[in-house]
């Protein structure tokens, strides 16, 4: 009978926990030397101490589709959003569009629009008219000029889109 003592191998539970912690931190599955219960525990501590990046939980975030960078109106799986740069910093924020054509729910940066399709100026106009918007879909200003109302977009926005 051998009296040599070997370090006990890490438990399946430890290994599964390590994989989960690594995935949450954007790391590939562990493929280093075989872990003992002790070294696995140390690695778990190390991983727990690492900051966990904020993960976008929306399913579209995992499709690998590109995140758009241009302001405009976007179609994401049949829901329309608009992306508009802030006046102060120029950072582009994403909102839904209300029934009137104004800014709706706020979604933060453009990562929300991963895989979304940017509408052409004609499509934006058609959408605004179809939905009967009373506000410019691009800047949330009330449309007053009959020509703008017919187009669904204000004159400056129509020129710049």
As measured in angstroms, the least distance from the Cβ of 149 to Zn ion is 12
Which residue among 71, 101, 152, 154 contacts Zn ion (CB under 5 A)? 154
Structural tokens at position 4 = 């040599």
Q: Exposed, middle or buried: residue 158 (CB in 10 Å: 0-12, 13-18, 19+)?
A: middle
C-beta of 17 vs 82, nearer to Zn ion: 82
Answer yes or no whether residue 138 interacts with Zn ion by CB under 5 A. yes
Answer yes or no whether residue 139 interacts with Zn ion by CB under 5 A. yes
C-beta of 73 vs 116, nearer to Zn ion: 73
As measured in angstroms, the least distance from the Cβ of 130 to Zn ion is 17
C-beta of 113 vs 157, nearer to Zn ion: 157
Which residue among 21, 97, 116, 157 contacts Zn ion (CB under 5 A)? 157
CA distance 9 to 4: 15
Contact 105, 95 (CB under 8 A): yes
* Residue corresponding to tokens 């949450």: 24
Helix H or strand E encompassing 127: helix 121-130
As measured in angstroms, the least distance from the Cβ of 122 to Zn ion is 16
CA distance 81 to 73: 6
C-beta of 14 vs 125, nearer to Zn ion: 125
Residue 151 dihedral angles phi and psi, to the nearest 5°: -90, -25
Enumerate binding residues for Zn ion (CB under 5 A). 136, 138-139, 154, 157
């Amino acid at each position: 009978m051998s009296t040599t003592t070997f370090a006990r191998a890490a438990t399946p539970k430890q290994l599964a926990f390590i994989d989960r912690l690594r995935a949450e931190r954007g790391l590939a599955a562990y493929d280093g030397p075989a872990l003992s219960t002790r070294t696995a525990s140390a690695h778990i501590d190390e991983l727990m101490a690492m900051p966990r990046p904020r993960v976008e939980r929306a399913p579209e975030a995992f499709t690998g589709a590109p995140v758009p960078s241009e302001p405009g109106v976007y179609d994401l799986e049949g829901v329309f959003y608009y992306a508009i740069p802030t006046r102060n910093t120029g950072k582009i924020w994403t909102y839904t569009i209300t029934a009137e054509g104004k800014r709706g729910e706020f979604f933060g940066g453009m990562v929300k629009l991963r895989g979304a399709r940017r509408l052409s100026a004609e499509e934006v106009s058609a959408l605004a008219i179809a939905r009967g918007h009373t506000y410019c879909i691009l800047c949330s200003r009330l449309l007053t000029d009959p020509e703008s109302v017919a187009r669904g977009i204000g004159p400056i926005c129509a020129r710049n889109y």
